[in-house]
Amino acid sequence: MSGKIRFGIFGCGRGMFAADHIRDHFSDDAEVTAFCDRRPDQLDRAKAAFPTAMAFDDFDEFIDSGLDAVVLANYFHQHEPYAVKAMEKGIAVLSETTAASTLRECVELVETAERTGAKYSLAENYPFSAACLEMKRVYETGKLGKVMYAEGEYCHPSSIEEIRRLDPETYHWRKYAPMTYYITHSLGPLINMTGQLPVSVTARTCYDEGRAEKIGRRFSDVAAIMLISTDGGAVFRVPACAMFAPHGNWYRLSCIDGGIETVRGDETTVRLSYVPWNLPEGEVTERFYRPEYAFDGEAAKDSGHGGGDYWVIRNFIEYLKGNQGPDFDVYKATSMSATAIQAWRSVLNGSASYPVPDFRKKTDRDAYACDNLTPFVDDEGRGATLPQDSRMR
């Protein structure tokens, strides 16, 4: 890639984090040349902040404006069709969560990435807090032994005012997304730390009768608790994006010879412990400490999501420059989407265990290539083929 990387931002709500980071930290390598949003208030905000960039309300015109890369921060359940359109034009994709909202889309996304050779990464940010990176570093030393059990929690209780602000439209995805679907903040860090991928999932919800009417959503579920078996023989427990309290993120790796976890209520501190009968040389049985980034700590310090937003953009630019691989390639990204999709089927079918396809395998792609089941609706409220609420089986 010669010259600066030309970025387009699709969706000017969450998408503005990417634009701001590119301008504030990476202007030697990249620039934002175009925005696209069909909400005039969102587009006006972007134009005011980036007056020299082009502004579009139509994706097809936007994607033809001369882009090297696009950040997909449009609706949660509509990333895949736009990722495919971009990759078909040789444009690199950084997609917000979730990569795909049906199993058919997972297959199409993987096959498009393979066929076009276009670069793709999911923009999952929580794995890149200093604490989560330290958990990965320690796990990779091998001193903890094999991971047996891991937990990843993302709890985000919201007031009714916040919920209304987040889902302004009648058929907005946040009104329809079942509680298993927003999975990447809890599962992504565990995949990044251990390198292990889900192979099966079972799930159940907790339910607050009457909540749907109270908050104006389609479901009264408050969280979905998933148990995931991995290809490394471990079990991960993740509650996706739980709407119960207390607020925060928490991660734990429990291994044969030790464990490491973030401290509840202090996400910047980790607790590292080893079994005393197999204590590695130079280690103590237990310590609490506050890890620092190996570099760029100052720049990441004030960035959102525990510093993760900085690293998502930095790593994607380095990937485009050919200096590293993607944070979450198309296989890891679709594995997380598929886990969420299959977990919802588990909820709807008495917590039965469901396989998580491995989209690297042609047999798995063939098995799910026509699987279109979805809880989401179009702009007119049509198209859902699955219930959004765990009691609507």
Cβ at position 177, least distance to ligand NAD in Å? 9
Cβ at position 353, least distance to ligand NAD in Å? 27
Binding mask 53-92 for ligand NAD (x = CB under 6 A): ------x-------------xxxx----------------
Helices (H), 50-199: 59-63, 79-88, 103-116, 130-141, 160-166, 173-176, 184-194
Query: Site for ligand NAD (CB under 6 A): how many residues?
Result: 19
Burial of 380 (0-12, 13-18, 19+ CB in 10 A): exposed
The whole-angstrom separation of Cα 169 and Cα 269 is: 39
Binding mask 206-235 for ligand NAD (x = CB under 6 A): ------------------------------
Peptide bond before residue 98 is cis, with ω within 30 degrees of 0 = yes
Residue 365's identity, in one-letter code, is R
Contact, 129 vs 306, CB < 8 A? yes
Of the candidates 97, 202, 374, 388, which one interacts with ligand NAD according to CB under 6 A? 97
Of the candidates 38, 115, 137, 287, which one interacts with ligand NAD according to CB under 6 A? 38
Among 91, 95, 55, 92, CA closest to 73: 95
**Contact call for residue 267 and ligand NAD (CB under 6 A):** no
Q: Judged by CB under 6 A, which stretch of 35-43, 191-199, 231-239, 285-293 contacts ligand NAD? A: 35-43
Q: At which residue do the structure tokens 């917000």 appear?
A: 96
**Contact call for residue 178 and ligand NAD (CB under 6 A):** no
**Contact call for residue 39 and ligand NAD (CB under 6 A):** yes
Cβ at position 210, least distance to ligand NAD in Å? 25
Cβ at position 268, least distance to ligand NAD in Å? 18
Of the candidates 5, 6, 7, 12, which one interacts with ligand NAD according to CB under 6 A? 12
Contact, 221 vs 205, CB < 8 A? yes
Q: At which residue do the structure tokens 């909820």 appear?
A: 347
* Shorter beta-carbon distance to ligand NAD: residue 172 or 204: 172
Residue nearest to ligand NAD (CB): 13
Query: What kind and span of H or E run contains 36?
Result: strand 30-36
The whole-angstrom separation of Cα 168 and Cα 356 is: 33
Of the candidates 7, 19, 37, 346, which one interacts with ligand NAD according to CB under 6 A? 37
Query: Which two structure tokens, joined as six digits, stand for 368?
Result: 């799910």
Residue 392's identity, in one-letter code, is M
Binders of ligand NAD among residues 291 to 320 (CB under 6 A) are 305
Instruction: Please report, as ranges, the residues that interact with ligand NAD according to CB under 6 A.
Output: 11-14, 36-39, 42, 59, 73-76, 96-97, 123, 125, 305
